[in-house]
Amino acid sequence: MPTDSSTTGAADEARLVADLRAGDEAAYERLVRDYGGRLLAVARRMLRNEEDAHDALQDAFISAFKAIGRFEGGSRLGTWLHRIVVNASLMKLRSARRREEVAIEDLLPRYLDDGHMLEPPTGWSDTAEAMAQNKELRALVRQTIDRLPENYRTVLVLRDIEGHSTEEAAESLEVSTGVIKTRLHRARQALKALLDPHLGETA
Amino acid sequence: MTDQNPELTCQQFVEFIRDHMEGSLPADVSASFKAHIALCPPCVDYLDALHKTRDIAKLACTHPDDELPPDLPEGLVRAVLASRRKSS
């Protein structure tokens, strides 16, 4: 989970939570205005569709309003809300229509019988930071992530982009930590293969 | 790729990258993993590119120049608050 450089200090946050629990209408509005922008960015990254992201944000706030009585002060409000919007986005993803996806098996290395790679892998000479300076390249990377099969893309987004731990991702997706680790590894392998023609040394 | 590594094949090495990048490489594999790195430049390239893949994914999806403004559309704020009133 990302560090929560919160909009509000701890004392302000405690007051806001108390006001929310008391049903204060102004507190609801403040919660939406203070946290909504960041949460919408999360939903956008997960759903890549503005309408779906708005729906997920709305669902997330409804869930949060209902559950505020169970919010424990041990975690930051922003962290708690982040988790709720991720879950709302996952629900939305499950009901979304399937996009055109690549087959993951076609993007993994192939091996000879003795365990050597059939073809030497393509190396990437530039650093990630240098590559990320290029706006078109960043757009290409995002579009390529979107082509990954949904099960793999979701794990990559949760782990590598949203910064969730393996355990958190396993809990959100209701699978074992082993499944998360393997899907993440496959997702990175597939993403690398799809980006090789653009980022590889021999390109 | 080399024929001199008695421990891990390239295929096994690539599968153990999963645990290596999680920081959970089994202790009994660690030496073989390192030995393979010392002997097999293509696998080192592969490992390096996977680290870069992980990093570029994050950088490409969170670059401040590409994100829409964090302001919420006013209509969405109204919709959220209206749906709360309806559901409460």
> What is the CATH code of the structural domain delimited by A10-95?
1.10.1740.10
Please judge whether A161 and B14 are an interchain contact, meaning their C-beta atoms are less than 8 angstroms apart: no
Please judge whether B88 and A65 are an interchain contact, meaning their C-beta atoms are less than 8 angstroms apart: yes
Where in chain A are all domains bearing CATH 1.10.1740.10? 10-95
* ipTM of model over 0.95: no
Please judge whether A185 and B21 are an interchain contact, meaning their C-beta atoms are less than 8 angstroms apart: yes
Angle at B28 between CA B26 and CA B29, to 5 degrees: 70
Kindly state the tokens that stand for A173: 């997706």
CA distances from A94 to A32, A97, B66 (A): 25, 8, 26
Structural domain of B25: 10-87
Query: Is residue B3 included in any domain, yes or no?
Result: no
d(CA A58, nearest CA chain B) in Å:
5
Please judge whether B60 and A109 are an interchain contact, meaning their C-beta atoms are less than 8 angstroms apart: no
pLDDT one-digit tens code per residue, A131-178: 999 999 999 999 999 999 989 999 999 999 999 999 999 999 999 999
> What is the CATH code of the structural domain delimited by A104-199?
1.10.10.10
Query: Is residue B75 included in any domain, yes or no?
Result: yes
Residue A23 identity: G
Average pLDDT over every residue of A7-34: 88
pLDDT, averaged across chain A: 90
* Among the partner residues A37, A117, A160, nearest to B58 by beta-carbon distance: A160
Kindly state the tokens that stand for B61: 């999806």
CA distances from A201 to A198, B20, B42, B49 (A): 9, 24, 13, 10
Question: Helix and strand tally (H, E) in chain A?
Answer: 9, 0
